[in-house]
Structure 1
Amino acid sequence: MHVRELQWIEPITAVQCLAHRPHLSFLDSAATHELLGRYSYVTCDPFSTYIVAGGRASCNGEDIDGDPWEVLRTLLANYPQEHRPDLPPFQAGAAGFFAYDLNRTLERLPAPAIPGQRLPHSILHLYDVVVSYDHRNNRCWIVSTGWPEQDPARRGERARRRADEFAALLANPKSPRIVLPGTAGAWNSNFSREAYITAVQRVIDLILAGDLFQANIAQRFTARLSTIFDPLTFYRQLRSLNPAPFGALLRCGKLTIASSSPERFLKLDGTKVETRPIKGTIARSVDSNEDQRRANVLVASEKDRAENIMIVDLLRNDLSRVCTPHSVDVPAQCDLESYASVHHLVSIVTGTLAGDVKWTPERGPWIAKVKV
């Protein structure tokens, strides 16, 4: 591994420098928080791409038979690397997204009544170089692994050469592209008002009948983009209006994902696992007294607390299936967290993975994911 510390360059500036390179990934901690959002990562030019679509895995366009998760584990095991605890934890590796429909590789589920957009269930790019940031200490580095070279000498040479390439790109900051407002048309929902009310009533009926406890009625909003729409400009505006500790901009060929989330889905640190579910939300107010009143209303809300506790119980059950007995704990429940436009109720569920549970190769945290 070749590591080179850089003079501080803002993460969004680094993104602008690398925006023209293929398959840019930006894992962005734009929000300042004493516990969350310490690190950001910028990378591009992957040496390999792993895709799951229709329940089948492929790598660099070639289909691979077998369980997609085992295929991924085998693929990552080809690239073991040392892990330096003095650097931000993601030290190159796989970055991308797991879509909700990836659950069909784990469970037998009926086909949805309304088909989605037929996007891949997962795209992971394997990166050999990452620009990593520690916002607490205002430090940044180029971390270059030299993969996919297998010969140690050639891998070392590639690591230094690729670090030089990234350093040269970062030394020439690009001016942000100026895009006028109105580059997207009107937003349209896949629900009419009547259909949405009907769906809500259906969920209420199912809850009263004891068939389910909770449901998420999701709407899809679509808009037609103009020819001058620029995803990077869009994301810059998004992170400015709604800075979040777990934002992301993922360029996956024709598909771009812009994400601005306060919620950590899953954190793995050795055998320690943590999830931070958010249930319970109320809009903030520019008036400080009204803002505090709303926060108090949320904390005291019986409905919101019940919803949060329900998801905590679900996650305690899920983690107990892969953790050592009696290790699952809830160190925080229904705590208030405040962001740019909303207050949230947030809980924390932790556990210790059982010895026979494996998620990534043994040497180093390799996967960075975004929930979409």
Structure 2
Amino acid sequence: MIRAFTARGERRLAWRDPRDLIDAVGGREGALILFSGDGGRVLMTAEPDATRELTDDPETLVALLADPAWEEGAIQLLSYDGGARLATGPRPTVWPDLMAARYPAWLEFEPETQTLTAIGHGTAETDVDGALDRAEGWLADAGTTPKVTGPLSVGFEAEADEETYRAAVADVVQRIGQGEIFQANIARGWRGRLRAYVDPLEVFRRLVAASPAPYAAFWRQGGRALVSNSPELFLTLRSRQVETRPIKGTRPRHADPRQDAGEVADLRSSAKDRAENLMIVDLMRNDLARVCEPASVRVDALFALESYANVHHLVSTVSGRLAEGATAGDLLAATFPPGSITGAPKHQAMKVIAAHEPPRGPWCGSLVLREGTDSLTASVLIRTLAFTLEEGAWHWRTQAGAGIVADSDPAAEAAEVLAKISAIRHALTGA
């Protein structure tokens, strides 16, 4: 049992561009670099004072999510398979259901105002100054790191070929026609290993340099590392107000402006994509209603367009007010895994997914930032690579999926998956 942080302090520092500090913080034990989506805010930390891993222990997991000792200054990684286990049963995976780390020292960057703040936590006032000094000391280690050129990865191997994926899509369409489900998100996977001189931090650097996403993240914990360039918000909780922003509907970007505008027009007018988005909006409304005040759950935005370097998306926003007595742990338990990457009905969709995919690991799980009681930001871990250190080399796995509905075309869904994986492929191989 660890003691909760009871003291907190801040120290204003001279502005530095967070991109210049990726190596100063990212090379340390337990390093975390996090884009929080709040107006471009970036958080950096390292050297946790406590870590935790859990697998196949749902009661302890929910208790940990609600434990005051892990409510502030903490990061929690929920793997997809832990949330899906009630539907799929146990499945072998090298990633735990939950990884957590708590950090006394943080750097907070606000690019819009060019404000840099050191934040220190402690179990006593005397701990705070030491944490602030440590965070400020990281700035002194910033230097110029030689740029790695050429491909970062040895191989970019598909776990199954495109014909296998198309057959999986066709099977799901048939299941939908038979009334088993309404929608399921089906993915393809790719594997490889980094070259001997390459660290996962370099993959993160390339992704955010080429196409930074609102919820990009790098996290290293022992022999595991996570690199995410996610555009999708799973949940925010602020003063008991909850918001979720599911993504459904995708088109590729094009260099030619007219062709790119044509993709936007096609996406906005697509009855198939709008129906897919609406199904998940209804699912998320239902999930939030389990832990929110009656009649507080509402749809704030429907089918909004968001554009990134490689794709356009349709994004909707659903909100509610957390019910009296409900905790952040209750909220996560009621809504995880995210509906946008499972399907509807969620329980049966996860069974269908398991019939076509190996365990997902962190991909389509969530990275949860805890900043105090009733305060969290959780991303959906799409556009994400999971790394494991094996015999001195970093091996990686990544996936990309598409939401399958009644009128899905297997060839079109396969093309959508390739569009979604293109940024990661380019970062790793240059292709």
Query: Fold conserved (TM > 0.5)?
Result: yes
SS in 2 for 1:327: coil
RMSD: 2.2
Given that 1:93 and 1:366 are in contact with CA atoms closer than 8 Å, whether structure 2 keeps it comes out as no
Q: Give the alignment of 1:147-158 within 5 angstroms.
A: 149=123, 155-158=124-127
Q: Give the alignment of 1:46-61 within 5 angstroms.
A: 46-53=48-55, 55-56=56-57
Tell me the residue number matched to 1:62.
Answer: none
Question: Structure 1 residues 293, 266: closer, same or farther in 2, change over 3 A?
Answer: same
Q: Give the alignment of 1:105-124 within 5 angstroms.
A: 107=86, 109-112=88-91, 115=92, 117-124=93-100
Q: Mean alpha-carbon deviation: is it higher for 133-142 or for 207-216?
A: 133-142
| Equivalent of residue 136 in structure 1, options 112, 127, 145 | 112
Q: Mean alpha-carbon deviation: is it higher for 221-230 or for 273-282?
A: 221-230
In structure 1, how many angstroms separate the alpha carbons of the residues matched to 2:102 and 2:263? 44
Tell me the residue number matched to 1:125.
Answer: 101
Q: TM-score, normalised by structure 2?
A: 0.73
In structure 1, how many angstroms separate the alpha carbons of the residues matched to 2:239 and 2:375? 12
* Larger RCO, structures 1/2 (Cα 8 Å, 6+ apart): 2
Q: Which letter does structure 2 place at the counterpart of 1:48? A: A
In structure 2, how many angstroms separate the alpha carbons of the residues matched to 1:319 and 1:102? 20
| 1:219 equivalent in alignment to 2:219 | no
By percentage of residues, which structure has more strand? Answer: 2
Deviation sequence 1:283-325 (CA, Å, 0-9, x none): 1122222222211111001111110011101111111111111
Question: Structure 1 residues 366, 320: closer, same or farther in 2, change over 3 A?
Answer: closer
Question: Structure 1 residues 232, 48: closer, same or farther in 2, change over 3 A?
Answer: same
Question: Structure 1 residues 100, 235: closer, same or farther in 2, change over 3 A?
Answer: same
Question: Structure 1 residues 363, 224: closer, same or farther in 2, change over 3 A?
Answer: closer
Tell me the residue number matched to 2:47.
Answer: 45
Deviation at 1:36, TM superposition (A): 5.1
SS in 1 for 2:12: strand
Q: Which letter does structure 1 place at the counterpart of 2:192? A: A
Tell me the residue number matched to 1:4.
Answer: 11
| 1:95 equivalent in alignment to 2:75 | yes
Tell me the residue number matched to 1:243.
Answer: 212
Given that 2:253 and 2:311 are in contact with CA atoms closer than 8 Å, whether structure 1 keeps it comes out as yes
Given that 1:95 and 1:126 are in contact with CA atoms closer than 8 Å, whether structure 2 keeps it comes out as yes
Deviation at 1:326, TM superposition (A): 1.0
Question: For structure 2, which runs of at least 5 residues remain unmatched after alignment?
Answer: 1-7, 330-369, 382-431
Deviation at 1:119, TM superposition (A): 1.1
Deviation at 1:271, TM superposition (A): 1.1
In structure 1, how many angstroms separate the alpha carbons of the residues matched to 2:53 and 2:19? 27
SS in 2 for 1:187: strand
In structure 2, how many angstroms separate the alpha carbons of the residues matched to 1:367 and 1:314? 21
Q: TM-score, normalised by structure 1?
A: 0.84
Given that 1:95 and 1:369 are in contact with CA atoms closer than 8 Å, whether structure 2 keeps it comes out as no
Given that 2:120 and 2:132 are in contact with CA atoms closer than 8 Å, whether structure 1 keeps it comes out as yes
Deviation at 1:163, TM superposition (A): 1.2
SS in 2 for 1:145: strand
Percent of aligned positions with the same letter in both sequences? 33
Equivalent residue pairs, number = 334
Tell me the residue number matched to 1:273.
Answer: 242
SS in 2 for 1:123: strand
Given that 1:37 and 1:246 are in contact with CA atoms closer than 8 Å, whether structure 2 keeps it comes out as no
Q: Which letter does structure 2 place at the counterpart of 1:20? A: G
